[in-house]
Amino acid sequence: MKGILYIISTPIGNLEDITLRALRVLKEVDVIAAEDTRHSLKLLNHYSISKPLISYWGEKEKVKAEETLEMLNSGKTVALITDAGTPGISDPGNILIRKAIEEGIRVIPIPGPTAVIAALSISGFSTDAFIFRGFLPIKVSQRLRELKGLSLDPRTIVLYEAPHRIIETLADIRETFADRRVVVIKEITKFYEEAFRGTATVILELLESSKIAGEYVIVLEGRPVEKLNTTEDALTEVKTLMKRGLRRKEAVKKIAEEYGISKKELYDKSLSGV
């Protein structure tokens, strides 16, 4: 009989932010697979949990995933944890989870802390629909291109950023989101937790007098509904561009990017409307 893989959310800062169920499962499993055993020992020692540990940090993830699968296939139960938050959510873990599913191993989530939801809950922005993008590309050109696309979306957007890139990323957000409202939360759930609110310009000024340290969560206001254009408006602009000599495909691509709508949907509608 195959074992069970438990995906356990652990505190993102404050060690008290762990569920009773998570503690029980950590005490009951045969093995704990941790992103970094040295980091996880702080949590496990705090709650007097002593279990065999496997580290799957960085380059070890693929190799350790195979070793862990062997244990699961032999009937052992395994708890998968990361340094903070939920495995697989902007953290390692996806390789093992995917392989376990492929091999018919039962995978059970033990929900708990995650920075994206914590940040959303205090943002003050709409939470009916949101985009979680995690960490943006490191290359400036790629990051700007992605931010430009996100700026067209009416949904709230959540990003993660490291301290050594927070200023640069906010400068790019200022360029692409202009005067849109932004919330930047530093060291969420930790002692020095702090939320900065305003436009990217205002927050950049605030950060000048703040120590840049720890992880940051950035929540961006979606594009205001009143500024959104309808598909009919987009079709009208496609028609105008085509009259000026642009091919249908080129016109659709240009307008779809400007309006933040599906190229395929706009193209299909243009065939009957233009």
For every residue of 165-190, DSSP letters joined together read GHHHHHHHHHHHHTT--EEEEESTTS
User: Which CATH number does the domain 4-113 belong to among 3.40.50.720, 3.30.450.90, 3.40.1010.10, 3.50.50.60?
Assistant: 3.40.1010.10
**Where in the chain are the domains?**
4-113, 116-225, 229-273
Give the tokens for residue 38. Answer: 């040295």
Per cent of the chain over pLDDT 70 is: 97
Tell me if 253 sits within 8 A of 149, measured CB to CB.
Answer: no
pLDDT of residue 58: 73
Taking alpha carbons only, the member of 152, 147, 123, 149 closest to residue 137 is 147
pLDDT of residue 168: 96
pLDDT of residue 227: 52
- Positive or negative, the Cα torsion across 68, 31, 97, 214? negative
pLDDT of residue 112: 95
- Give the residues of the chain that fall short of pLDDT 70: 225-230, 273-274
pLDDT of residue 271: 87
pLDDT of residue 264: 87
Give the tokens for residue 200. Answer: 């990217």
Residue range 116-225, CATH number? 3.30.950.10
Distance of alpha carbon 35 from alpha carbon 169, whole angstroms: 26
> What pTM was estimated for this model as a whole?
0.78
pLDDT of residue 274: 46
